[in-house]
Structure 1
Amino acid sequence: MIDFYYWPTPNGWKVSIMLEECGLNYRMIPVNIGRGEQFSPEFLAISPNNRMPAIVDHDVDGTPLPIFESGAILLHLAEKTGRFRPSDARGRKEMYEWLFWQVGNLGPMAGQVSHFVNYASGDHPYSAERYNNEYNRCLGVLERRLQTRPYLLGDDYSIADMASWPWVLIAKPLGQTLEEFPQVRRWRTAIKERPAVQTGVNLGKEFRRSAPPDEHERSILFGQNSQTGDKTP
Structure 2
Amino acid sequence: MITLHTWTTPNGRKIPIMLEELGIPYRIATVDIGKGEQFEPAFLALSPNNKIPAIVDDDADGRTVTVFESGAILTYLAEKTGQLLPASGAARYQVLEWLHWQIGGLGPMLGQVGFFELRAKEKSAIASKHFLDEAERLLGVMDRQLAQHTYLAGADYSIADIAAYPWLAATAEKMQQALGQQLAASHNIQRWMTLMAARPAVQRGMLLPKLS
Do the two structures share a fold, i.e. TM-score over 0.5?
Answer: yes
Partner of 2:80: 80
Partner of 1:38: 38
Secondary structure of the residue aligned to 1:50 is coil
Map residues 137-152 of structure 1 onto 2, 5 A cutoff.
137-152=137-152
Secondary structure of the residue aligned to 1:58 is strand
Q: List per-residue Cα deviations over 1:130-170 (Å, max 9, x = no partner).
A: 11111111110001101111101222100011111111112
Rounded Cα–Cα distance in structure 2 between residues aligned with 1:123 and 1:60: 47
* CA deviation after TM superposition for structure 1 residue 74, in Å: 0.1
- Give the letter aligned to residue 162 of structure 1: I
Map residues 94-133 of structure 1 onto 2, 5 A cutoff.
94-133=94-133
Quick check: 1:196 aligned with 2:201?
A: yes
Rounded Cα–Cα distance in structure 2 between residues aligned with 1:78 and 1:29: 21
Partner of 1:219: none
Rounded Cα–Cα distance in structure 2 between residues aligned with 1:197 and 1:87: 23
Secondary structure of the residue aligned to 1:97 is helix
Rounded Cα–Cα distance in structure 2 between residues aligned with 1:180 and 1:132: 15
Secondary structure of the residue aligned to 2:155 is coil
Partner of 1:182: 187
* CA deviation after TM superposition for structure 1 residue 107, in Å: 0.4
TM-score, scaled to structure 1: 0.86
Rounded Cα–Cα distance in structure 1 between residues aligned with 2:61 and 2:166: 32
Rounded Cα–Cα distance in structure 2 between residues aligned with 1:100 and 1:22: 21
Q: List per-residue Cα deviations over 1:77-108 (Å, max 9, x = no partner).
A: 00001111124410011111111111100000
Rounded Cα–Cα distance in structure 2 between residues aligned with 1:164 and 1:142: 10
Rounded Cα–Cα distance in structure 2 between residues aligned with 1:43 and 1:198: 27
Q: Percent identity?
A: 48
Rounded Cα–Cα distance in structure 2 between residues aligned with 1:206 and 1:110: 25
- Give the letter aligned to residue 193 of structure 2: R
- Give the letter aligned to residue 189 of structure 1: T
* CA deviation after TM superposition for structure 1 residue 6, in Å: 0.6
Structure 1 135/205 Cα, relative in aligned 2: closer, same or farther at 3 Å?
A: farther
Q: List per-residue Cα deviations over 1:51-86 (Å, max 9, x = no partner).
A: 000000111134311100000000000000111112
Aligned residues: 207
Quick check: 1:206 aligned with 2:211?
A: yes
Partner of 1:154: 154
* CA deviation after TM superposition for structure 1 residue 129, in Å: 1.1
Map residues 49-88 of structure 1 onto 2, 5 A cutoff.
49-88=49-88
* CA deviation after TM superposition for structure 1 residue 118, in Å: 2.6
Rounded Cα–Cα distance in structure 1 between residues aligned with 2:78 and 2:69: 14
Secondary structure of the residue aligned to 2:196 is helix
Q: CA RMSD in A?
A: 1.2
Secondary structure of the residue aligned to 1:3 is strand
Rounded Cα–Cα distance in structure 1 between residues aligned with 2:153 and 2:88: 12
* CA deviation after TM superposition for structure 1 residue 205, in Å: 4.5
